[in-house]
Structure 1
Amino acid sequence: MAPGDMVPEHAKQHKLKQEKEKLQSTTRPDGDSDPDRSFVFEAHEAWKDFHNSLRQFYEVGDLCDVTLKVRLPLLPVDFLTGTVAKEEMIKGNLSCRDLLDEARNYHLHLSNKVVPDFEYSVRTTPRKHTAGVLFCVGGRGGSGDPFRSIECYSISKNSWFFGPEMNSRRRHVGVISVGGKVYAVGGHDGSEHLGNMEMFDPLTNKWMMKASMNTKRRGIALAALGGPIYAIGGLDDNSCFNDVERYDIESDHWSAVAPMNTPRGGVGSVALGSHVYAVGGNDGVASLSSVERFDPHLNKWTEVREMGQRRAGNGVSELNGCLYVVGGFDDNSPLSSVERFDPRLSRWDYVSELTTPRGGVGVATVMGCVFAVGGHNGNIYLNTVEAFDPRMNRWELVGSVSHCRAGAGVAVCSSHISQIRDVGQGSSNVVDCM
């Protein structure tokens, strides 16, 4: 007689229910719920508990059901290959192995490999609990004075609130989130160009000054690839830059890397696959349609296929292994057009246009959608926010920030919304949008 046959059916079902509830609750932590951080440990422990407790009397259908609750594609590759793939119960179940294959194909797709017939699913989209917090940092409004205020978007509540202010006012600032912290670099404070950087830590709810760049500039773009932060391009009152600096977080130190082939002020950037992309911008004479990418192993920038339209002050983000470039200015006016670059095909395509032109727009990806925050439409500064759903190929308005802003930095931080203190109305520096 098998061990499972000695357990009464009602006891089996009760135990199974307990373990399934435990696994589901563990994969939805209330604290830091970044799936690449503490979530991995939590899920690992839950997986071991489930394995040990139900080894004797699990049922195949129930195992597959529980495996579906864990969004395997969002787990790191080393956890998938080192833990999940070695689990005997998974290896012995065809349905579970299909889920594991989906997760592997997802990571191959994001690394710019061609995966035939790959499709995105609910399992490749983060839950609201783990999607992070959208930050809108700095920028300027109708008065021309830069903001030091930040606004944060709660995905679960679908609302914005003010977070703690920066130490410096900053417009045309570079912003990025790495390791659960938000970095604001350079920009202009209304009097002079800035080379300094400050970091927001949700655990302390404070901005802390960090090492300064070697070159003071505004209109820079930031990207993170494999740990370091890259500060790309920018401009001051005299020239546009092709300078690129790399910041090492551990040593709090900036160093120069290979410059771009073209000066780019008001450039957009994102890390995609194993490269950092620099998209558009202005070379001091005209807006650019050209694009180049940086290989950190070769310390070299290489031209790639150019966009269909010239643009500077555009927003750039990554979604589903593709690069999206949103709005910006040509030499005459703000743009509503949006282009998507697929590095696997080396091809640009136009997608649905924004509901309104947005130059100086902030862009980031949240919950499988590209969010466009603020900007200038040619007449007024904007406080509206819209989101692009690639499945529907459609932009929809999804609310608004309190301050009308252009030249703000937008990034998604992996912190939990409950960690960030709401400071009420925040800055008194509230101006109209004209």
Structure 2
Amino acid sequence: MRGDTLSPFSGRNTAFKERQCIICKARASKTDCEPDGSFVFEAHEAWKDFHNSLRHFYEVGELCDVTLKVRLPLLPVEFLTGTVAKEEMIKGNLSCRDLLDEARNYHLHLSNKVVPDFEYSVRTTPRKHTAGVLFCVGGRGGSGDPFRSIECYSITKNSWFFGPEMNSRRRHVGVISVGGKVYAVGGHDGSEHLGNMEMFDPLTNKWMMKASMNTKRRGIALAALGGPIYAIGGLDDNSCFNDVERYDIESDRWSAVAPMNTPRGGVGSVALGSYVYAVGGNDGVASLSSVERFDPHLNKWTEVKEMGQRRAGNGVSKLNGCLYVVGGFDDNSPLSSVERFDPRMHRWEYVSELTTPRGGVGVATVMGRVFAVGGHNGNIYLNTVEAFEPRMNRWELVGSVSHCRAGAGVAVCSSHISQIRDVGQGSSNVVNCM
């Protein structure tokens, strides 16, 4: 933004100097403001203040400059269409309307609609301070005992630190984040299978026990679609399950929904578009390449095109409207292969392989990259972490976790990194990975 204009960001306008800037939540005298949609439009009151700022930029001819810096695609679609799109100043500016169209097309693309010539841009990627916190929860290492420890990833520092521990040890645990909280469900504590669930709240920095599932199991996968959390598949010492349970957060209650067509222990899952996908797993005899998806409106599971590779203990995440399945075991052999499913084309394709095979790997998406955390390479438990950059079609190693672990749950929580209390063990406390 030009410094010769009398604007809230130039430092010359004393009326703005002593108040918080609604656009960037920084001091208004700052000259290089890069607003993020998640901050700008988080409430209608904020919009009113921002509207006044837009009026100023409209008058000095810089409306498109400031709108360009707001990452409109990251706004909730209801607010984007119901409030921002109705703003007369934006409707009257062709360049701003192009940015609004980009945001609309982004949401159409994520809903599995075919949008010709759509391309991702910097405006579709969260900034570091709004991207959330990557949690690595539980798992087990060479010692054999499951962990209750939690490690959290600081994107800005490219390093991990220990957060508050869970109440229970858990390996092959299902983990997900919904509404700024982290949920850990089921798993095995070293003695028995678990059906209970606990929730981490960054505001209190504590884990709290919640309602238990009806079926105790490990190797489950969690997905969240439209509010509820779905616990999918899993196994115990006797059986692989096709059971699916749905957890209502408001009532703290589990209920059964339609079972999958195939039992799947060590399954991967993610919500994509209007469906919940169950990917791979083991049916009690062999690893699976089959995939099915759940329609909550019909309460029905339907088979979709299978993967090119059989795999269980794989990690699953979504990025740019596609489903990624990472690593896993082909029966007992750990895999380095990675496949991507495009629901618009109903097609699987291989992308670049991991730098090392990883079975029992934890996977999540942060800052436009897919992170693969830990796992087992056939010889040792791993503490290494790598990230996939889709534009480069390349995996690269990033900061390692302290505990070498497989069967951990990985999820991204929408809290700020400063909310999570560091328990002080530090990344130097690396245990034997054998």
The TM-score, its normalising length taken from structure 1, stands at: 0.92
Residues 362 and 368 of structure 1, relative CA distance in 2, 3 Å threshold? same
2:168 is aligned to 168
SS in 2 for 1:6: coil
- Closer, same or farther: CA 38–323 of 1 in aligned 2, 3 Å: closer
Question: How far off its partner does 1:69 sit?
Answer: 1.7
Q: Deviations over 1:66-91 (max 9, x none)?
A: 11121000000111111111111100
Q: What residue number does 2:357 align with?
A: 357
- Note the alpha carbon deviations across 1:63-119, whole angstroms, 9 max, x for none: 111111210000001111111111111000000000000000000000000000000
Q: 1:432 to 1:334 in 2, by over 3 A?
A: same
SS at match of 2:53: helix
Deviations along 1:352-403, one digit per CA (max 9) or x if unpaired, are 0000000000000000000000000000000000000000000000010000
SS where residue 141 of structure 1 aligns?
coil
8 Å Cα contact 1:188-1:217 kept in structure 2: yes
* Distance (whole Å) between structure 1 residues aligned to residue 315 and residue 155 of structure 2: 20
1:198-237 deviations in Å (ceiling 9; x for gaps)? 0000000000000000000000000000000000000000
Contact 2:136-2:150 at 8 Å conserved across structures: yes
User: 1:411 aligns to what?
Assistant: 411
Post-superposition offset of 1:424: 1.0
Q: Aligned Cα RMSD in Å?
A: 3.5
Q: 1:289 to 1:10 in 2, by over 3 A?
A: closer
Runs of 4+ in structure 1 over 6 Å off: 4-13, 15-21, 32-38, 426-430
Contact 1:34 1:130 in 2 (8 A): no
Q: Which moved more, 1:282-291 or 1:32-41?
A: 32-41
Q: Take 2:284 and 2:159, find their aligned partners in 1: how far apart are those partners?
A: 39
Contact 2:154 2:160 in 1 (8 A): yes
Question: How far apart are residue 21 of structure 1 and its match?
Answer: 8.4
Over 3 Å counting, the alpha-carbon distance change for 1:14 and 1:349 in structure 2 is same
**Distance change in 2, residues 1:322/1:339 (3 Å):** same
Deviations along 1:31-50, one digit per CA (max 9) or x if unpaired, are x9999998365464444224
Q: Matched residue of 1:73: which SS?
A: helix
Contact 1:33 1:414 in 2 (8 A): no
Change over 3 Å in CA distance of 1:95–1:374 after alignment to 2: same
Aligned CA distance change for structure 1 residues 406 and 416 (closer, same or farther; 3 Å): same
Offset at 1:7? 11
Give deviations 1:230-249, integer Å, cap 9, x for gaps: 00000000010000000000
> 1:357 aligns to what SS in structure 2?
coil
CA contact (8 A) 2:7 2:56 kept: no
- Tell whether the 8 Å contact from 2:150 to 2:162 is kept in structure 1 after alignment: yes
SS at match of 2:330: coil
- On the 8 A contact 1:138/1:146 being kept in 2, the answer is yes
- Taking a change above 3 Å as real, the CA distance of residues 193 and 36 of structure 1, as seen in their structure-2 partners, is farther
Question: What is the alpha-carbon distance in structure 2 between the residues aligned to residue 323 and residue 34 of structure 1?
Answer: 30
Q: For the structure 1 residues 110 and 429, does the alpha-carbon distance in structure 2 shift closer, same or farther, using more than 3 Å as the test?
A: same
C-alpha distance 321-60 of structure 1, shift in aligned 2 (>3 A): farther
Deviations 1:313-358 (A, max 9, x none): 0000000000000000002310000000000000000000000000
Matches of 1:40 and 1:178, distance apart in 2: 22
> Contact conserved, 1:163 with 1:426, CA < 8 A, in 2?
no
Runs of 5+ unmatched residues, structure 2: none
Q: Output the CA distance in 2 between the equivalents of 1:37 and 1:326.
A: 31
Relative to structure 1, the CA distance from residue 390 to residue 6 in structure 2 (aligned partners, 3 Å threshold; closer, same or farther) is: closer
Identity %: 91
Tell me, yes or no, if structure 1 residue 423 matches structure 2 residue 423: yes
Q: Which moved more, 1:235-244 or 1:39-48?
A: 39-48
Task: Tell me, in whole angstroms, the C-alpha distance in 2 between the residues paired with 1:164 and 1:10.
Answer: 40
Q: Could you tell me which residue of structure 1 aligns to residue 16 of structure 2? A: 17
Higher relative contact order (CA 8 A, sep 6+): 1
Q: Which deviates more, 60-69 or 399-408?
A: 60-69
Q: CA deviation at 1:274?
A: 0.1
Query: Does structure 1 conserve the Cα–Cα contact (< 8 Å) formed by 2:327 and 2:358?
Result: yes
Conserved 8 A contact 1:233-1:244: yes
Contact 1:217 1:235 in 2 (8 A): yes
Shift in alpha-carbon separation, 1:69–1:10, aligned structure 2, 3 A: closer
8 Å CA contact 1:27, 1:42 repeated in 2:
no
Tell me how many residue pairs correspond in the alignment. Answer: 428
| Contact residue 383 and residue 400 of structure 1 kept, 8 A | yes
TM-score, scaled relative to structure 2: 0.92
| Residue-by-residue CA offset, 1:131-159 (whole Å, 9 max, x unaligned) | 00000000000011000000000111111
